[in-house]
Amino acid sequence: MADTYPTWNQDERWWRDNYATRPYAAGRKYEEFRPAYQYGYECAARYRGRTWNEVEKDARSGWDKFEGKGPGGAKWENVKDAVRDAWNRVTGKHDVDAGKMGESEVERLSHGGRAL
């Protein structure tokens, strides 16, 4: 998280305006994701310098203890994409999952992202 990165309150406004564009948010309300976005934002500061793959297990166990999700909060499986989305937005890191990509996209990225 850069020193000039927005505060959570500023970032929260961005999520409120943009959450509906996320594939996991179809047909759901912003309020369902707000705690997950805040948690992802906070994880990015807590685990600065690490990749998502390195911290996901800790983030998952931390979610169960996260007071911001409120009583009866969502299960990890229902919010993990939003948590990771917020993590990616703060850190600027986007781990590539080649298993979810087409062959041509994997090939392109293996050549430094250049068009083939």
pTM of the entire predicted model: 0.76
Residue 70 lies in a domain: yes
Residue 1 lies in a domain: no
Range of the domain at 93: 8-110
Kindly state the helix (H) or strand (E) to which residue 40 belongs, with its residue range: helix 30-46
Q: Establish if 41 belongs to a structural domain.
A: yes
Gap between the Cα atoms of 57 and 54, Å rounded: 8
Q: Is 116 inside any structural domain?
A: no
115 domain-assigned: no
pLDDT digits (tens, 9 = 90+) for 77-107: 999 999 999 999 999 876 544 444 345 444 5
Both ends of the chain: CA-CA distance in Å?
Answer: 33
Of 93, 101, 95, residue with least CA distance to 1? 93
Dihedral angle over CA of 34, 35, 40, 45, nearest 10: 110
23-43 pLDDT, tens per residue? 999 999 999 999 999 999 999
How many Cβ atoms are within 10 Å of 91's Cβ, its own excluded?
Answer: 21
